[in-house]
Structure 1
Amino acid sequence: MSTETLAEPLSRAGPRRLGSLRLRLMLGVPLLSGLVVAVFEWSLGGFESLREGLARTGLLVLLLSAAQLLFVEALLLRPLRRLAAGCEAMESAPMPLTPAADLPASGLAAELDRIGHAMRRARGSLWQQDQDARELRRELAQQRHLLEQARSALDANQRELASLARTDALTGIANPRVFDEALRREFKRAQRQRGLLALAVLDLDQFKQFNLAHGSVVGDRALQRVAALLNERFKRDTDVVARLGGEEFVVLLPGFGMAEAQGVLELLRDELRALRLPDGQGSLTLSVGLAAASPAHPYLSAQALMQAADEALYIAKHAGRDRLSLAA
């Protein structure tokens, strides 16, 4: 069945419905008006007044009905008729057989196309912005990771620098700076508490010839073995073992007098002679200068105690080496 066949009953239904409505109004309005006028006349004078003014009542009903019909025609039926004509025109229009996209765009369709295109462009822009934001987040995460790595490396370097600032790079024991701080601290404590403090300066005999004979690599290993031996023998919390430089070491022994420190250092010299050096090459001996501060033998300063130990070491060296000399 074609679209035109379907539209014909629809186009005929509109005028028929309007004609039926007009007929009902032409019958109903006069009846209603007559009833209203009759009730009004009856309320004024009863049935006698109604019979006497019948002609007048009929004229009044006609005028009132005509006015109401004109009013309804103007306000209701004419708009309905125009609406029915519009519906009839729409229903009788042929249905398009091609898709709407193939037809020439009307003003509304063109506007809708522009809106759709703008929305697609906005979606594309939002998608691109989302991709850019994701890429930026990835780059920020990568930069944050690199920053964390750099911070960790910096912390490690700072710890290493702090360690290097307080330890000897070759042997791992304390360096001269740490020893000087400990000497000043322990000397003041010994003075305040009238306690004992022993200081020994140790020097490996003829170490330059040892290096020439065996090489600097073996010499460095020998120094490391000596430092390890010192750490093993002097491991109290208050003991301080340091390398002053080259083949010279120093030991600070709080609470030790001259006799106690001398006994420990003589054992150390014996252990050094028996020490197995790297690859079994060569042997080393040790010269020691020892000084001790006590209430019976005080020193004016920590530097004076250190100088006394140095002078004792000088005497041990010139007395033939491989010996311990006591400060006067």
Structure 2
Amino acid sequence: MSTESPDELPGRETRRLGSLRLRLTLALPLLNVLAVAAFEWSLGGDAPTPEGLARLAWLVLLLSAAQLLLVELWMLRPLRRLAAGCEAMESVPMPLTTDGEGAAPRLAVELDRIGHAMQRARDSLWQQEQAARELQRELTEQRQQLDQAQATLEANRRELASLERVDTLTGIANQRVFDEALRREFKRAQRQRGLLALAVLDLDQFRQFNETHGREAGDAALQRVAALLSTRFKRDTDLVARLGGEEFVALLPGFGMAEAQGVLESLREELRALRLPDGSSEQPLTVSIGLAAASPAHPYLSAQALLQAADEALYIAKHAGRDRLSLAA
């Protein structure tokens, strides 16, 4: 049986509320730190920087302050009002008189006062329950919004990663992918003493083509050329990419100069046969090609040296009249 006096009960309730406030003040920031850290980790971010840690600290601080304010408004304040009501009820003296005529009315008044106090307590508890449900509903909505935002960020990240490796106009690889593949295949050819052919292709008079037929016809021609390259070079090891503008490249592991020359001459004839734009009777769109090939008999010091040799061969093809294939020395 409790030995606390009635005067000690309000103070005990106040201490309990203070203890609850202290526990919430300590627990909410810790939970927010764990939630924010889990969210950042799910995004697959890099190692945290001082600026990133400072930003996370401010975010945790703001979230904790907002949550503590909500708890203070919707939970602790109603509890304080309830405790105050109980204190007021308990502080009302209960007369213990036994005189016949005055006892019954005073007892009825005290019972009525107790009933009103209990009704106020029930009302306060109901309001507290409603506030808790509202808080739970808002937290659920925030969690759903957070999950939706995370899903959107992940979709955007995948789309961005795809765009970083694909030319948006033609759908073939971009220069970043080509640079990685060139370094990789060059090292493999050196290690295995194998063959590696590299062709740089540039459409002839393409600026004049755009001025004559329009930008849309030029974009369509670039797409047709990319499709032709993808059809002609379709081995798993082949790579075709657009370097930018009207310049393309074909990386052909296992091909020597002679094999690559035959395929590229056929491709040049096929492009002329397309008679771009769309079977026009005018001078068709043509291509100039520079070809270089690394082999044990004709090695190159680096992948960049191989690419430079192909570029120089393309320069010769352009200045020799265009619409031709030039071989690196």
TM-score range with shorter-chain normalisation?
0.5 to 0.7
Q: Give how far 1:161 is off.
A: 1.9
Show the 5 A alignment for 1:31-110: 106-110=105-109
* 1:146 to 1:275, Cα distance in 2 relative to 1, 3 A: farther
Q: Tell me what 1:304 maps to.
A: 305
When normalised by structure 1's length, the TM-score is: 0.65
Question: Given residue 291 of structure 1, which amino acid in structure 2 is its aligned partner?
Answer: A
| Contact kept? 2:275, 2:285, Cα under 8 Å | no
SS in 1 for 2:240: strand
* 1:277 to 1:159, Cα distance in 2 relative to 1, 3 A: farther
Q: Give how far 1:279 is off.
A: 5.8
Uncovered stretches (5+) of structure 2, i.e. residues with no partner: 1-99
Percent sequence identity is 81
Q: Tell me what 2:262 maps to.
A: 263
Q: Tell me what 1:222 maps to.
A: 221
In 2: Cα distance, 1:276 partner to 1:131 partner: 76
Show the 5 A alignment for 1:14-25: none
In 1: Cα distance, 2:276 partner to 2:136 partner: 59
Of structures 1 and 2, the larger Rg is shown by: 1
Q: Tell me what 2:200 maps to.
A: 201
Q: Give how far 1:120 is off.
A: 1.6
Question: Given residue 161 of structure 2, which amino acid in structure 1 is its aligned partner?
Answer: A
Q: Tell me what 1:32 maps to.
A: none
* 1:289 to 1:125, Cα distance in 2 relative to 1, 3 A: same
Question: Given residue 164 of structure 2, which amino acid in structure 1 is its aligned partner?
Answer: A
Q: Give how far 1:289 is off.
A: 0.7
Q: Give how far 1:278 is off.
A: 6.3
Q: Tell me what 1:192 maps to.
A: 191
Aligned-CA RMSD value: 2.2
Q: Tell me what 1:213 maps to.
A: 212
Q: Tell me what 2:147 maps to.
A: 148
In 1: Cα distance, 2:236 partner to 2:120 partner: 76
Q: Tell me what 1:115 maps to.
A: 114
In 2: Cα distance, 1:245 partner to 1:208 partner: 13
Q: CA offsets per residue over residues 261-305 of structure 1, 9 Å max, x none?
A: 111112211222233756656732111111111111111111111
Q: Tell me what 1:232 maps to.
A: 231
In 1: Cα distance, 2:155 partner to 2:130 partner: 37
Q: Tell me what 2:316 maps to.
A: 315
When normalised by structure 2's length, the TM-score is: 0.64
In 2: Cα distance, 1:230 partner to 1:112 partner: 96
| Contact kept? 2:291, 2:327, Cα under 8 Å | yes
| Contact kept? 2:195, 2:293, Cα under 8 Å | yes
Q: Tell me what 2:156 maps to.
A: 157
In 1: Cα distance, 2:213 partner to 2:124 partner: 76
* 1:277 to 1:111, Cα distance in 2 relative to 1, 3 A: farther
* 1:278 to 1:163, Cα distance in 2 relative to 1, 3 A: farther
Q: Tell me what 2:59 maps to.
A: none
SS in 2 for 1:106: helix
Q: Give how far 1:107 is off.
A: 2.2
| Contact kept? 2:201, 2:249, Cα under 8 Å | yes
Uncovered stretches (5+) of structure 1, i.e. residues with no partner: 1-89, 94-103
SS in 2 for 1:287: strand
* 1:235 to 1:105, Cα distance in 2 relative to 1, 3 A: farther
In 2: Cα distance, 1:277 partner to 1:132 partner: 71
In 2: Cα distance, 1:153 partner to 1:290 partner: 44
In 1: Cα distance, 2:124 partner to 2:207 partner: 78
Q: Give how far 1:228 is off.
A: 2.0
Q: Tell me what 1:65 maps to.
A: none
| Contact kept? 2:197, 2:253, Cα under 8 Å | yes
Q: Tell me what 1:180 maps to.
A: 179
SS in 1 for 2:164: helix
In 2: Cα distance, 1:252 partner to 1:218 partner: 27
Q: Give how far 1:108 is off.
A: 2.1
In 1: Cα distance, 2:104 partner to 2:278 partner: 99
In 1: Cα distance, 2:235 partner to 2:196 partner: 14
Matched, 1:286 2:287: yes
Q: Tell me what 1:241 maps to.
A: 240
In 2: Cα distance, 1:228 partner to 1:136 partner: 57
* 1:145 to 1:278, Cα distance in 2 relative to 1, 3 A: farther
Structure 1 moving runs of 4+ over 4 Å: 276-282
Q: Tell me what 2:132 maps to.
A: 133
Question: Given residue 141 of structure 2, which amino acid in structure 1 is its aligned partner?
Answer: Q
* 1:250 to 1:295, Cα distance in 2 relative to 1, 3 A: same
